[in-house]
Amino acid sequence: MKSNLLAMVAAVLVAAPSHAETTLTVRADAPGARINPAMWGIFFEDINFGADGGLYAELVKNRGFEFPEPMMGWSKLSPSKARGQLSIRDEQPFNARNPHYLRIESEGGDLFGVANEGFRGMGVKKGEAYDFSAQIRKVAGTPAMRIELYSADGTLLDTQPLGDFTNDWQQRAVVLHPRETDAHAKLYVLLDGKGAVDIDFISLFPENTWKHRPGGLRADMVQALADMHPGFLRFPGGCIVEGSVLDRRYQWKKTLGPVAERQLLINRWNYEFLHRPTPDYFQSFGLGFYEFFQLCEDIGARPLPILNCGMACQFNSGELCPLDQLDSFVQDALDLIEFANGPVTSEWGGRRAALGHPEPFNLTMMGVGNEQWGPHYFERFSKFAAAIKSKYPEIQLVAAAGPEPADDRFKQAWATLPGMHADIMDEHCYAKPEWFFDNTHRYDHYDRSGPKVFMGEYAAQSVAIVSTKNRNNLQCALAEAAYMTGLERNADVVRMASYAPLFASTEAWQWTPDLIWVDPLHVTLTPNYYVQQMFCLNRGDEVLPVEGGTADRSLFVSAVKDDGTGEIIIKAVNSGEVPLEVQLQVAGVSLKNGHVRSTVLAGMPQSENSPGEPTQIKPVETGVPLAGGSLTQHFEPHSFTVLRIQPD
Ligand code: AHR
């Protein structure tokens, strides 16, 4: 019995190959489709504290006391000797659109006031400066204030005085310099002495925002986007475009102008998942449409706004705007094009100029509806399309193909929308890694004469869609990379693609997996991020056919040529358990004295990055000369490799 077992083990050991060998020929002599310069992009939605509590660098949660529970995020600070009262009021507000404010009344004795906890942690860094500001008016006495930062363990990090208040609302400001770095600091707003003040719009921003813009975006998060070099930025979503009911839809015009006047709205992800409720999630719109366009310009991404089409989310109420009342929705779309591209003499071009950007934002495309389906959508889309195409025929219209990549809703969309001026169909897919590996040939047989494809939302789900157990592991990233080789090979049909969602707060997420995880102090890049980045950085300009491969289909390959450098770029996923030795040939160019640079993302399939171990999975770059014109490439198991071959 024992010897039988040993024989079996020995047989397995003998049979298991240490590596596999194959040959690949890249046909540089037979170039194919041109690749859209904006092929690989990003999808932004305010989900998982992506904007408020994330990209928008405001550190104070509920700064205007407009949450339905107006003291949410705030706590009373009342040392034993202090006597005072807090009340929420709305008479003669500083701002009628966000009318609530806090009254602090102190009878003296000790400092008395409130603390703000930030967005599940207020991240502050030693050596950096933080701008505190608030609207304040005196109500009684001659009160002074102290503005303080405390660490989570109760250490005073900085304190600054503020006084000489007037009876009218006035913006007051001080700068805080924390003595230590802390991920869970708190802001204290205290009355010092007897008296009373009204206070509103209490704000704390790092001075070190992206491009040092006051009230701007979190620098490290934008840097992660800039480092990707995305071709486009889709915003503001996602289901947030639709709203669970129409009143809660995203309305771009309400996101412009002074931030204090942008009306707070409950975030749909506040209450979407019973298993991940987020009662403190609201949209301040501090990151509004002007800032989106500015962000696109900053990072060199083409803007792709997605607008509500007169329908609330079909997974929620599906509320419809009656067709005879759709005009204002359609007008919003037309006005947005004018806002982005119109001359400064036009109404909305003038608004853009007044906000500081007389030059156009060069909008070339727009999505009508997010993840819609069915006849109600089609009749609404056709009204938008008629109006937009007659005024702006150059704008490419993106139409929704539903939430799944192959169901009846999808088929109906593809059967109907191409006849309605849909230039690009927005396909979505959240599925297991196997689906992505199995569907790398999905687009090989698409109609070349129909609308183009925007793979607008996709991500491999290690467990299942909306499972809280999904992981951003290497296995999922490789599945996405393999699938992307199929998108690239079909670049004549697939014009754009974006992973979704983009950001997630480790402290307050609703949806996983996500491309980039952040905590109050750090940004963690996932293996999936690196896959996206490797495609962005190695986009190329024309597709090159590849011949050969492995019989077991563990190797997924695509190739392109970079017109600027003349380099041949090969992307290869080895999803198998064994290394692959690949004899690479490039037909049509000489490689005798060439050079190859390789970037490899590899590891164990279940490996992932975390704030504690942010670089477990990270691309590694090497460069070697080409010896004698041929190239034998070793592809590690569970790896994604990009080779940039510089011919002679
Ligand atoms: O990416 C998360 C959500 O998935 C998007 O908001 C929605 O469009 C899709 O269902």
pLDDT for the residue numbered 13: 39
Share of the chain above pLDDT 70, in %: 97
Calculate mean pLDDT across residues 438-442. 97
Boundaries of every domain in the chain: 5-37+542-646, 74-206
43/454 Cα distance (integer angstroms): 12
- Classify 74-206 by CATH class: mainly beta
| Residue 500 beta carbon below 6 angstroms from any ligand 1 atom | yes
Residues 6+ apart with CB under 8 A from 156: 148, 149, 150
348/256 Cα distance (integer angstroms): 11
Q: Please identify which residue in the block is written with the tokens 């927005």.
A: 426
Calculate mean pLDDT across residues 318-338. 98
| Residue 54 beta carbon below 6 angstroms from any ligand 1 atom | no
| Residue 45 beta carbon below 6 angstroms from any ligand 1 atom | yes
The pLDDT tens digits for 602-626 are 999 999 999 999 999 999 999 987 8
240/45 Cα distance (integer angstroms): 7
Q: How long is the chain?
A: 648
Neighbours of 154 (CB within 10 A): 7
| Residue 280 beta carbon below 6 angstroms from any ligand 1 atom | no
Best residue for ligand 1 mutational test, from 472, 510, 511 (most atoms within 8 Å of Cβ): 511
pLDDT for the residue numbered 41: 98
Q: Please check the confidence at residue 9 and state whether its pLDDT lies above 80.
A: no
**CA atoms 482, 483, 486, 490: torsion sign:** negative
The pLDDT tens digits for 213-229 are 999 999 999 999 999 99
Phi then psi dihedrals of residue 430, to 5 deg: -115, 110
Q: What is the DSSP letter of 531?
A: H
Residues 6+ apart with CB under 8 A from 3: none
Calculate mean pLDDT across residues 39-55. 98
pLDDT grade for 20, boundaries at 50, 70 and 90: confident
pLDDT for the residue numbered 228: 98
Q: Ligand 1, atom 8: nearest CA belongs to which residue?
A: 238
Nearest to 27 by CA among 560, 598, 647, 643: 560
489/572 Cα distance (integer angstroms): 12
* pTM: predicted TM-score of the whole model, two decimal places: 0.96
Q: Please check the confidence at residue 296 and state whether its pLDDT lies above 80.
A: yes
DSSP state string for 562-582: -TTT--EEEEEEE-SSS-EEE
Q: What is the Cα 578 distance to its own chain's centre?
A: 35
pLDDT for the residue numbered 549: 79
| Residue 50 beta carbon below 6 angstroms from any ligand 1 atom | no
Q: What is the 3-state secondary structure (H, E, C) of 395-445?
A: CEEEEECCCCCCCHHHHHHHHHHHHHCCCEEEEEEEECHHHHHHCCCHHHH
pLDDT grade for 478, boundaries at 50, 70 and 90: very high
Cα–Cα distances (Å) from 438 to 448, 480, 556, in that order, read 22, 11, 11
Q: How far is the CA of 558 from the centre of ligand 1 (A)?
A: 28
Q: Which of 190-194, 356-360, 466-470, 627-631 has the lowest mean pLDDT?
A: 627-631
Calculate mean pLDDT across residues 126-135. 98
Q: Are 417 and 454 in contact (CB under 8 A)?
A: no
pLDDT for the residue numbered 8: 41
Residue 319 corresponds to which tokens in the numbers above?
């509320």
Q: Are 298 and 211 in contact (CB under 8 A)?
A: yes
Q: How far is the CA of 312 from the centre of ligand 1 (A)?
A: 13
- Cis amide leading into 178 (omega within 30): no
Q: Are 194 and 141 in contact (CB under 8 A)?
A: yes
Q: Ligand 1, atom 2: nearest CA belongs to which residue?
A: 501
424/400 Cα distance (integer angstroms): 9
Instruction: Give first-to-last CA distance, the chain, whole Å.
Output: 62
Mean per-residue pLDDT of the chain: 95
pLDDT grade for 631, boundaries at 50, 70 and 90: confident
pLDDT grade for 10, boundaries at 50, 70 and 90: very low
pLDDT for the residue numbered 17: 55
382/398 Cα distance (integer angstroms): 12
- Residue 267 DSSP SS3: coil
Best residue for ligand 1 mutational test, from 268, 428, 458, 514 (most atoms within 8 Å of Cβ): 428
Residue 509 corresponds to which tokens in the numbers above?
């997420």
210/55 Cα distance (integer angstroms): 10
Name the active-site residue from 66, 105, 117, 371.
371
pLDDT grade for 16, boundaries at 50, 70 and 90: very low
Domain 5-37+542-646 carries which CATH code? 2.60.40.1180
Q: Which of 126-140, 240-254, 615-629 has the lowest mean pLDDT?
A: 615-629
pLDDT for the residue numbered 3: 44
Q: Please check the confidence at residue 159 and state whether its pLDDT lies above 80.
A: yes
Q: Please check the confidence at residue 112 and state whether its pLDDT lies above 70.
A: yes
Rounded to 10°, the helix 408-416/375-391 angle is 30
> Catalytic residue at 58?
no
Element housing 485 (H / E) = helix 474-489
Q: How far is the CA of 9 from the centre of ligand 1 (A)?
A: 48
How many distinct helices (H) and strands (E) make up the chain?
A: 10, 34
| Residue 46 beta carbon below 6 angstroms from any ligand 1 atom | no
Residue 303 corresponds to which tokens in the numbers above?
């803007």
Neighbours of 549 (CB within 10 A): 16
| Residue 236 beta carbon below 6 angstroms from any ligand 1 atom | no
Q: Ligand 1, atom 1: nearest CA belongs to which residue?
A: 501
DSSP state string for 579-627: -EEEEEEEETS--TT-EEEEEEEE--TT----SSSTTSS--EEEEEE-S
pLDDT grade for 592, boundaries at 50, 70 and 90: confident
Phi then psi dihedrals of residue 363, to 5 deg: -75, 130
Residue 11 corresponds to which tokens in the numbers above?
């047989």
Calculate mean pLDDT across residues 77-105. 94
DSSP state string for 448-482: TTS-EEEEEEEEE-SS-TT-TT----HHHHHHHHH
Rounded to 10°, the helix 474-489/527-537 angle is 30
Q: Are 20 and 576 in contact (CB under 8 A)?
A: yes
- Residue 389 DSSP SS3: helix
